[in-house]
Amino acid sequence: MPSRPPVVSRVSRRALLGGVVATTATASTACSLDSLDPSPDDPTITPTSGPGSTDDPTAPAAEPAADDDEGLVGEVLAAIALAHRTARANARQHPGLAPVLRPFETLHTTHADELGDLPASTGRVADRRESRTQVLARVDRSETVLQRTLVGAARSAGSGALAQTFASMAAGVAQLRTTL
């Protein structure tokens, strides 16, 4: 009878997984040199060059356009909707996989609620004739696309809070993908 692996290997595996998720989240929220530009509210430091600086050090820095972030939120919501539809349709088509796929549905709903309404999506996302392996591969591809979209959105967001939200969502998707 095979023996169970020692607890140490499970802890090491968890530590490795935690490190991968933390690295993914950290990499997606890496700061740029623009974020190191001192604040005009700091009386001890006067910015002399860089984005948003003018001849008048008391002038407010240029704000990123809110329209850019709105478009980004729309793009992310569309990606969440497609991944949500893929998980839900496959859970319905393959009831044996429902316990594995329902957490993805829940995650997508939570993420969509944070950003706005979940838009409708179209396209074939499930096939009753697929094997368990094929279904899991399909869902994993969908989640991979969503994760990449979230990481890209985190890098592109003009708002720091929105970038953190996207990065957190990407980390959540990455963590849940390990269950596939």
Q: What pLDDT, on the 0 to 100 scale, is given for residue 1?
A: 52
Report, as an integer, the average pLDDT of 112-119. Answer: 90
Q: Give the lowest-confidence range in 64-73, 107-116, 121-130.
A: 64-73
Closest among 71, 92, 79, 78 to 158, alpha carbons compared: 71
Q: Are 157 and 69 in contact (CB under 8 A)?
A: yes
Closest among 85, 75, 94, 73 to 143, alpha carbons compared: 85
What are the tokens at 12? 């090491």
Report, as an integer, the average pLDDT of 36-53. Answer: 48
Q: What pLDDT, on the 0 to 100 scale, is given for residue 108?
A: 96
What are the tokens at 5? 């692996």
**Per-residue pLDDT band at 31 (split at 50, 70, 90):** very low
Q: Compute the chain's Rg from CA coordinates.
A: 21
Domains of the chain from N-terminus onward: 65-180 (1.20.1260)
Q: What pLDDT, on the 0 to 100 scale, is given for residue 75?
A: 94
129-158 burial, b if ≥16 CB within 10 A, otherwise e?
Answer: eeeeeebbebbeebbeebbebbbbbbebbe
What are the tokens at 37? 């530009």
What confidence tens digit (pLDDT) does each residue in 8-17 have? Answer: 444 455 554 4
**Per-residue pLDDT band at 69 (split at 50, 70, 90):** confident
